[in-house]
Chain A
Amino acid sequence: MELQSQHFREKAADALADSAAVAQRDKIAQFTPIIRDAAMQEFGSFEALRKHIKRIRQHSLDNLDYYLARFELEATNNGNQVHYADTPDEMNSIVLDICQQHGAHRVAKGKSMVTEETALNDYLQRGGLEVVETDLGEYIIQQAGETPSHIVAPALHKSKQEIRELFLEKHALGERALETTEDLVDEARSVLRETFLKADVGIIGSNALIAENGYSMLVTNEGNGDLCANLPSVLIICTTLDRILPRGEDATAMQRLLARSTTGQAQTSYTSFYSGPRREGELDGPLETHIVLLDNQRTDILASDYKEMLQCIRCGTCLNHCPVFAATGGHSYGWVYSGPMGSILTPLLTSLETSEALPNACTSCGRCGEVCPADIPLPDLLRDLRHEQYQQKMTAPRWRVGLKLHAWLAVRPSLYQFLTAMLTTVLHRLGRKKGSFSQLPFAAGWTSVRDFPAPQSGTFMQQYKARTKADE
C-alpha cells in the first residue's frame, strides 16, 4: 500500500469536515469499548491474563533465535516450505513465483495486514492473476478501490447504502432490492462462494506460529480464511517473525485476550490450527503449503528500544479507544496501520520523516496504554518517537523554540508560577465579559476551530495554596 502519511494533516481536516462519517465513527467509538469492557469484567482475572501473555511474548522475542529455528524445523517436518523475505518486494515475488509455478489464475485471499503492507494484490494483478479478497470488509473495500480504515473492521467507514450501491454496480445480477444487511451479506456469500471453489491458490495470514509443533493459528468469525486454507490446492501463509509463540497453549491463551478485546467473544466462530499439506488418503486440504516470513524492519525493531511494539496482537483496541482515531478515521493515517499502534508502527516500518505527523497525532490521554491487551506502553513509545524527531531536528523550528522555552521555565518553578499566574489574570480580565476568546495570539490552531475559554480565576497552584491555607 502506498504511503500517504505525509498528508495526515490535510486528510484529517477533510475527514473532520464530513459530519456523517464523524457521527458514524463516534457511534463505533462508543459501543466498541462497552463490548470489550463487558467481556473483560466477565473474565475477571483479565489483568493477570494480560501480564501472563506479556511475559510469554517478551520471552519469545528475547529468545526468538531459538523459537524461530524450532518453528522452521517443525513446520518443515510437517511438510511446509518455509520462505524468508527481507523486504515487501521479496515477499511479493516469492508469492508470485509460487503461483506461477502452479500455473495459477485465481487467488482467494483471507484478511492479511501483512499483505496490505507489501501491496501484494497489486503485484499479483500486475503478474496477470485475479485476486479476490474474501473477508467481507476487505471484499467491499477492494470492490470500491479503497484501503482499510481499521485493522479489524476494514469497511466500517462505509454505510449500508453505499455498499448497496456498490454491489448493484459491481455484481451483474439484474434488478434486486438489496434492502437489508442480510441481503447484502447473502449476495456477497454467493459471489464469493464461486471464488473459493474456483481458486487455484489460497492466501491467508496467521495470528500465531507455534514453535513446538509448527502449526499456524488462524482466528476468524466469517470462516473465509478457513475456506481459503482448505479448498484451493495451494496454500500460502503470509506472516511475520513476531507471530511466533512457544506452545499451543500460549496461542490459545493469546486468543483469549484477542477475541475479548476485539469482539467481546470468548472465542471467535473459527479458531483453526493448520500443520501443513493434505496427508495421504485425505479427501481435502491443500496439496502444497508455503509459509512466507516477512521481516521488513522487524529485526531492526527487535534490536531497538521499540521492541515491545512487536508484542502487538493486532486487536484494534487502541484504535477503538483513541480520540484522534475517532475524530479523523483510519484513512487519515495514510497507511495500513492506524490509531496509536499505526502511529508507532508506520514510522518504524517506513520512515519517521515521511510519517512525521503520526506520533504527534496524540492528545496524550493515555487510554491506548491502559486498554492494550498486550500491555504495550503505547503513550511512552509515541513520546519516544516525538523525542527522536526533536533530536533529529524534524520538529518545526517554532516548536523547538517553544519546547526549549518550556523546558527552561519548567525547571524554575517560582518563575513558572509567577508567569502563569500573570497570564491567567490577564486572560481572566480580558475575557470576563464574553467568557471566551475567538482569537488569541500564538493560538490560531485552537481558535480557528473553537473558542478558547477565559480562565475563571487563578491558576491551579494559586487555588491549591489558598485552600491549603484555609484548611490549616
Chain B
Amino acid sequence: MSSESRSRIMAKVRGASRGQGAAAIESELAGMGVAPTAPLPHEDTCIAFMANVLRNHGTLDIAGNRSEAVKLIGQYIYQHFRSHRLVAGNDPHLAAMPWRDGGVLPRFGEVEPGEPVALSYAQWGVAETGATVFLTGKSNPSRNNLLPERHLVLLDVNNLLPDLESLWRQIEPTIEAGSRPRGIQCIAGPSSTADIEAQLVHGAHGPRGWHIILTGGATHEQLQTARAIVACDDTLGGS
C-alpha cells in the first residue's frame, strides 16, 4: 500500500517540480546567500551568550577552574535538594572532574525516574539565542537533559559560537564523516508552558531549572555586564 502510494506521490511531485538537474538546483540554492542572524546584545560573544541565557530564564555560575566548578555544583545541589547526589552522563569531561573537592557523589549513566538532578556536558553554546547544544549518544543520554527537576550544564566558553549557522558548520564534518549523532538538542531554557490562560510556568514536563556553569575563562565582570543588559531590557520593557 505504502509503496503504491510512494509511486503515486513521487509521480505527482515530479509533475509539479521544475525537473532541474542536481547541479542546477545546488547552484541555485548556493546563490540564495545566507539568512540574516539576530543582532547580539553585546559585541563580546561571551557576554552576549550570558545575557541571552538570562533572558531565557536560565541561571549562571562562573568557575575559574574545575575544582571551583565542582564546588559550585555541590552548592547548587545542596541548596535545592539538601543532597550531594547527582547523575552525570558518561562524557569524559565529566568523568575527569575532581568530584571530591565539592563533596559531590556522582553516578554516571542515565537518569532514573525520581532522580532530581543531572549534569550534562554541552558541546557548544550559541550566543545568538543563548542555547546550549548536546549531541545525544553514548556519553550523553538524552533523558538526562529532559527528566530531572533541575538540569545542570557544564560549558567551556571556548566552545561558544556566535550563531546557529556556525553550529551547523561545527556539526557538518561529523555528519559527513558518517557518524551522525542520533540527536542534536539545542536547549535554550527550562521546560515551560503558557497553555493555561497564557501564563508562563516553568517545569511543564522537563526541568524547572536550567543552570549553566561556565568554565574556560569567563569572568564575573562579564556576567555583571550581561545582568545589566537584561535589567535594562526589563526597564525598557516595563516589566
Q: A residues within 8 Å of B by Cβ?
A: 28, 31, 38, 42-45, 48-49, 52-53, 55-56, 59, 62-66, 68-69, 78, 83-86, 90, 93-94, 134-137, 140, 153-156, 158-160, 163, 181-182, 184-186, 188-189, 192-193, 196-197, 213, 215, 221-224, 226-227, 229-231, 241, 246-250, 252-253, 256, 263, 265-279, 281-285, 293, 295, 299-300, 302-303, 307
Contact A90 B5, CB 8 Å, known A224-B205, A227-B205 = yes
Q: Which residues does chain B contribute within 8 Å of A299, judged by CB atoms?
A: 9, 12-13, 16
B36 to chain A, nearest CB (A): 4
B56 to chain A, nearest CB (A): 7
Of the candidate stretches B60-68, B72-80, B126-134, the one touching chain A is B126-134
Q: Lowest 4 CB-CB distances: which A-B pairs, in order?
A: A223-B206, A253-B35, A299-B12, A267-B129
B230 to chain A, nearest CB (A): 13
- The contact of A275 among B52, B126, B180, by CB within 8 Å, is B180
27 contacts between A and B (CB under 8 A): A52-B35, A56-B29, A65-B14, A68-B13, A90-B5, A156-B195, A192-B205, A215-B180, A221-B189, A221-B191, A221-B194, A222-B192, A223-B205, A226-B146, A227-B206, A229-B183, A241-B13, A256-B37, A256-B38, A266-B129, A271-B131, A282-B136, A282-B138, A284-B136, A284-B141, A295-B9, A303-B15
Q: Which residues does chain B contribute within 8 Å of A45, judged by CB atoms?
A: 36
Contact check, B32 vs A226: say whether CB atoms are below 8 A apart.
no
CA distance A223 to B180 in the complex (A): 22
- Asked if B143 is at the interface (CB within 8 A of a chain A CB), the reply is yes
- The contact of A215 among B110, B184, B190, B204, by CB within 8 Å, is B184
- The contact of B2 among A49, A85, A193, by CB within 8 Å, is A85
Contact check, A83 vs B206: say whether CB atoms are below 8 A apart.
no
CA distance A84 to B201 in the complex (A): 38
Contact check, B32 vs A94: say whether CB atoms are below 8 A apart.
no
Contact A270 B38, CB 8 Å, known A84-B6, A134-B205, A213-B175 = no
- The contact of B5 among A52, A85, A137, A184, by CB within 8 Å, is A85
Contact A275 B181, CB 8 Å, known A135-B195, A221-B191, A221-B204 = yes
Which residue among A163, A269, A277, A281 has the maximum number of chain B CB atoms within 10 Å of its CB?
A: A269
CA distance A86 to B188 in the complex (A): 37
A12 to chain B, nearest CB (A): 23
A405 to chain B, nearest CB (A): 39
Contact check, A43 vs B137: say whether CB atoms are below 8 A apart.
no
CA distance A156 to B196 in the complex (A): 7
Q: Which residues does chain A contribute within 8 Å of B172, judged by CB atoms?
A: 248
Closest to A194 in B: B113
Q: Which residues does chain A contribute within 8 Å of B32, judged by CB atoms?
A: 52, 55-56, 59
CA distance A283 to B188 in the complex (A): 24
Q: Which residues does chain A contribute within 8 Å of B39, judged by CB atoms?
A: 42-44
CA distance A268 to B192 in the complex (A): 9
- Asked if B198 is at the interface (CB within 8 A of a chain A CB), the reply is yes
- Asked if B182 is at the interface (CB within 8 A of a chain A CB), the reply is yes
Contact check, B168 vs A249: say whether CB atoms are below 8 A apart.
yes
Of the candidate stretches B17-25, B96-104, B212-220, the one touching chain A is B17-25
Closest to A221 in B: B192
CA distance A395 to B204 in the complex (A): 47
- The contact of B146 among A49, A230, A265, A282, by CB within 8 Å, is A230
CA distance A153 to B8 in the complex (A): 35
CA distance A270 to B12 in the complex (A): 35
CA distance A137 to B171 in the complex (A): 34
CA distance A28 to B5 in the complex (A): 42
B198 to chain A, nearest CB (A): 7
CA distance A269 to B186 in the complex (A): 8
B96 to chain A, nearest CB (A): 20
Inter-chain residue pair count (beta carbon < 8 A): 270
Contact check, A49 vs B194: say whether CB atoms are below 8 A apart.
no
CA distance A7 to B155 in the complex (A): 55
Q: Which residues does chain A contribute within 8 Å of B113, judged by CB atoms?
A: 193, 197
- The contact of B36 among A52, A63, A279, by CB within 8 Å, is A52
Q: Which residues does chain A contribute within 8 Å of B131, judged by CB atoms?
A: 267, 271
Contact A270 B35, CB 8 Å, known A153-B195, A182-B201, A185-B193 = no
Q: Which residues does chain B contribute within 8 Å of A250, judged by CB atoms?
A: 35
Which residue among A185, A213, A215 has the maximum number of chain B CB atoms within 10 Å of its CB?
A: A185
Contact A273 B183, CB 8 Å, known A64-B13, A227-B146, A266-B188 = yes
- The contact of B187 among A55, A270, A274, by CB within 8 Å, is A270
Contact check, A28 vs B198: say whether CB atoms are below 8 A apart.
yes
CA distance A84 to B237 in the complex (A): 48
Contact check, B17 vs A66: say whether CB atoms are below 8 A apart.
yes
- Asked if B142 is at the interface (CB within 8 A of a chain A CB), the reply is yes
CA distance A113 to B211 in the complex (A): 33
Q: Which residues does chain A contribute within 8 Å of B204, judged by CB atoms?
A: 136, 185, 188-189, 221-224
Closest to A286 in B: B182
Closest to A197 in B: B113
Q: Which residues does chain A contribute within 8 Å of B195, judged by CB atoms?
A: 135-137, 140, 153-156
Contact check, A163 vs B196: say whether CB atoms are below 8 A apart.
yes
Closest to B134 in A: A272
Contact check, B38 vs A266: say whether CB atoms are below 8 A apart.
yes
Q: Which residues does chain A contribute within 8 Å of B56, judged by CB atoms?
A: 265-267, 269
CA distance A135 to B16 in the complex (A): 36
Contact check, B28 vs A226: say whether CB atoms are below 8 A apart.
no
- Asked if B116 is at the interface (CB within 8 A of a chain A CB), the reply is no
CA distance A295 to B115 in the complex (A): 43
Which residue among B22, B130, B142, B190 has the maximum number of chain A CB atoms within 10 Å of its CB?
A: B142
Contact check, B167 vs A62: say whether CB atoms are below 8 A apart.
no
Contact check, B35 vs A53: say whether CB atoms are below 8 A apart.
yes
Contact check, A266 vs B128: say whether CB atoms are below 8 A apart.
yes
CA distance A300 to B8 in the complex (A): 12
Contact check, A249 vs B183: say whether CB atoms are below 8 A apart.
no
CA distance A277 to B82 in the complex (A): 37
Contact check, B186 vs A271: say whether CB atoms are below 8 A apart.
yes
B60 to chain A, nearest CB (A): 16
- Asked if B33 is at the interface (CB within 8 A of a chain A CB), the reply is yes
CA distance A112 to B30 in the complex (A): 32
- Asked if B221 is at the interface (CB within 8 A of a chain A CB), the reply is no
Q: Which residues does chain A contribute within 8 Å of B8, judged by CB atoms?
A: 86
- The contact of B198 among A63, A153, A281, by CB within 8 Å, is A153
Closest to B12 in A: A299
- The contact of B164 among A135, A253, A272, A281, by CB within 8 Å, is A253
